[in-house]
Amino acid sequence: MTTIRDVAKKAGVSVATVSRYLNDSGYVSGEAARAVADAVKELKYELNPVARSLNTKKTNIIGLIVPDITNPFFPELARAVEDVALTYGYTVILCNSDENPEKEKNYIETLRKKYIDGFIVTSNQLDAPHYANIPLPIVALDRAINANIPTVASNNREGAGIGTRALLERGCKKILFLRGPEELNPANDRYEGFMDVIRHSGIEHHVAICPFHFTESEKIVESILQEQKDIDGIFASSDVSAAGALKAANTLGISVPDELQIVGFDGIAMGEMLSPGLTTVAQDIYKMGAIATRVLIKRIENQTEEQHFYEVPVELKIRGTTRSVEE
Amino acid sequence: MTTIRDVAKKAGVSVATVSRYLNDSGYVSGEAARAVADAVKELKYELNPVARSLNTKKTNIIGLIVPDITNPFFPELARAVEDVALTYGYTVILCNSDENPEKEKNYIETLRKKYIDGFIVTSNQLDAPHYANIPLPIVALDRAINANIPTVASNNREGAGIGTRALLERGCKKILFLRGPEELNPANDRYEGFMDVIRHSGIEHHVAICPFHFTESEKIVESILQEQKDIDGIFASSDVSAAGALKAANTLGISVPDELQIVGFDGIAMGEMLSPGLTTVAQDIYKMGAIATRVLIKRIENQTEEQHFYEVPVELKIRGTTRSVEE
């Protein structure tokens, strides 16, 4: 294998000069630069990326921290991050945090030492010291905002308003809102958006805290529907919860959408596989991941940022769990 | 920050001696070793992992190559790989290949130069030169076997026999088998398993090639069910195809499981969210990922391997798309 010494010999300069040239880390005369460039070309010298990392402290690797890749929202996000990273010559390390601050901290610490270039993070811990003091570029995705960390998120509040109106326009008279975990910013924004619209509608409503988890949502909705048989609309803050609600309705023999209409939030691929297909407030998950990756790489490469908060619009996708709009 | 020079000075030895000691790469006298160890401890010197990689050619990073993380089989696999890797102090780079040999080749080439320690690969290209000649530990998951590459897979053929018998025992008289892509080994093994059982049953059957894709499966099944109204059982080689079949039945107003019974293959989480819940031949996806990771890390760490082929048993999960067994 050709070494840096071979290149230096061929170019008639010192190894230090070759290193300065290759790593762009100090003065090299025009003449020396040309000689090194020619020698590199002639000898087909490939710069060892690990040696280069040691000089530049860059690896072209970014970390993606998600709570759990098996939650169907995150594979679509991961796919976008990897696709866009690849076009910039970056690869992606996948980290499942389980929302555990210790795990997040360990990941950041371990990968920082390996000169990872930056992180895209979906976490509720963004104000925790391991993020606040991190000496690396970082972009927050979907969740919580720290003033120093650029954030990419959907217009959750507005989106929830759209979902709520979809149920009202279709004649619902008593709506159950499945609110997500209270520690989750997007869930709270969706709750606000629901309240913005329902508050002025005069329509009866009921709010239940409900984790973004299929079986638990199914159980919660089954028990509520058994007690409150006049509920004719459910708006769930996540598609997984909406799927649980649909399953509960099926179990209880409640016909969807004739007796009960359901709207979800997320737009994950699973929604169309359900019967009937799930009407949902769809986030542009791929676009969120793509923007976050571009913003991160810009920061890594010290390019100026235009903005600090990126809001990605949602879109109402009408499928079979809702009826036609009443005239 | 403490440097290797500070350690050498403190220990009263040369930088080269400290480096040999830390990287375990040459003779160091017992006295020098103790002096270096004390200095490292006292100065709280942390060995730079990138510098270490340059010496050891190890990074404690492994690559996971999957066709597409948004196919719901792969997030569960990725989760297992990451969980197990973490317990051994390894992190995981996620690579979506889209079954594109050029993309796979580029990933392997790029990551090899960064001293990645090995790869876990789900690919149909395992006989391609970029795998056959790779100078790194590699483990094949789910797909195809190359004599030099350890493989972890389900007992697909046997599993398909179990799924087929489940339909026969429940009274099906005409069964549609949704065979996966012909270039896919596991799909072919499942086809063989179906034929093993159906061939001797005297039951009428029909085989359709069907990609592991929801919408395409839905269309294919819808058109077949419109023509062959006496089909009363469908065995799909993947849960995603089974979900498409269920949706087609719903669209056509065919009652599942009363008029038509459906069995899938995979055991992904989405199966229980469907209505009725999907009866399926469940692979132990997490276990497959966990075994592959352990085998890979053993190879990386030059531990002896006990075996070359790991077969993970499947399990029939009965849910709502099948009826009770006929007496």
Map out the domains of chain B with their CATH numbers: 4-56 (1.10.260.40), 61-154+286-312 (3.40.50.2300), 156-283 (3.40.50.2300)
Confidence of residue B57 (pLDDT cuts 50, 70, 90): low
Residues of chain A with C-beta less than 8 angstroms from the C-beta of B59? 50, 114
Task: Indicate the SS3 state at residue B262.
Answer: strand
Tell me whether residues A274 and B273 touch, CB distance under 8 A: yes
Report the first-to-last Cα separation within chain B, whole angstroms: 77
Mean pLDDT of chain B: 89
The helix, strand and coil proportions of chain B, stated in percent and rounded to the nearest 5, come to 45, 15, 40
Tell me whether residues B75 and A70 touch, CB distance under 8 A: yes
Confidence of residue B216 (pLDDT cuts 50, 70, 90): very high
B32, B21 contact by CB (below 8 A): yes
Report pLDDT for A40.
81
Tell me whether residues B113 and A274 touch, CB distance under 8 A: no
Task: Indicate the SS3 state at residue A207.
Answer: strand
pLDDT above 90 for B255: yes
Report pLDDT for A8.
86
The alpha carbon dihedral of A293, A295, A298, A300 has a sign of: negative
Distance from CA of B77 to the nearest CA of A (A): 9
pLDDT tens sequence across A38-95: 888 888 776 666 666 656 667 899 999 999 999 999 999 999 999 999 989 899 999 9
| C-alpha distance from residue B124 to each of B65, B97, B98, B108, B184 (Å) | 11, 11, 11, 15, 7
B177, B208 contact by CB (below 8 A): yes
Q: Which residue has the higher pLDDT, B9 or A27?
A: B9
pLDDT above 70 for B24: no
- Put simply, whether A133 touches B (Cβ < 8 Å) is no
Report pLDDT for B290.
94
Report pLDDT for A28.
79
Interface of B with A in 39-68 (CB under 8 A): 46, 48-51, 53-54, 59, 61, 64, 68
Tokens of A303: 């390019």
Spatial CA neighbour of A235 closest among A277, A311, A314, A180 = A180
pLDDT above 70 for A312: yes
pLDDT tens sequence across A223-244: 999 999 999 999 999 999 999 9
Q: Which residue has the higher pLDDT, A205 or A35?
A: A205
pLDDT tens sequence across A187-199: 999 999 999 999 9
> How far is the C-alpha of B234 from the C-alpha of B247, rounded, in Å?
13
pLDDT above 70 for B52: no
Report pLDDT for B145.
58
> How far is the C-alpha of A70 from the C-alpha of B281, rounded, in Å?
20
* Percentage of chain A exceeding pLDDT 90: 61
Q: What is the DSSP letter of B326?
A: P
B276, B321 contact by CB (below 8 A): yes
- Put simply, whether B96 touches A (Cβ < 8 Å) is yes
Instruction: Tell me the β-bridge partners of A249.
Output: none
pLDDT tens sequence across A102-116: 888 888 888 888 878
Report pLDDT for B73.
92
Distance from CA of A290 to the nearest CA of B (A): 15
Report pLDDT for A24.
64
pLDDT tens sequence across A166-180: 999 999 999 999 999
- Put simply, whether B200 touches A (Cβ < 8 Å) is no
Say if strands A174-179 and A204-209 run parallel, antiparallel, or are unpaired: parallel
B123, A110 contact by CB (below 8 A): no
Instruction: Tell me the β-bridge partners of B236.
Output: B178
pLDDT tens sequence across B112-123: 888 789 999 988
Prior bond to B129 cis, omega within 30? no
Burial of B240 (0-12, 13-18, 19+ CB in 10 A): buried
Report pLDDT for A57.
66
Partner-chain residue, chosen from A48, A93, A240, that has the shortest CB–CB distance to B93: A93
Backbone angles phi, psi at A61, to 5 degrees: -120, 135
By residue count, chain A amounts to 327
Counting one residue from chain A and one from chain B, the pairs whose CB atoms sit within 8 A come to 128
pLDDT above 90 for B154: yes
Task: Indicate the SS3 state at residue B279.
Answer: strand
Residues of chain A with C-beta less than 8 angstroms from the C-beta of B273? 214, 240, 243-244, 247, 270, 274
> How far is the C-alpha of B79 from the C-alpha of B75, rounded, in Å?
6
Task: Indicate the residue type of B186.
Answer: P
Task: Indicate the SS3 state at residue B188.
Answer: helix
Prior bond to A72 cis, omega within 30? no
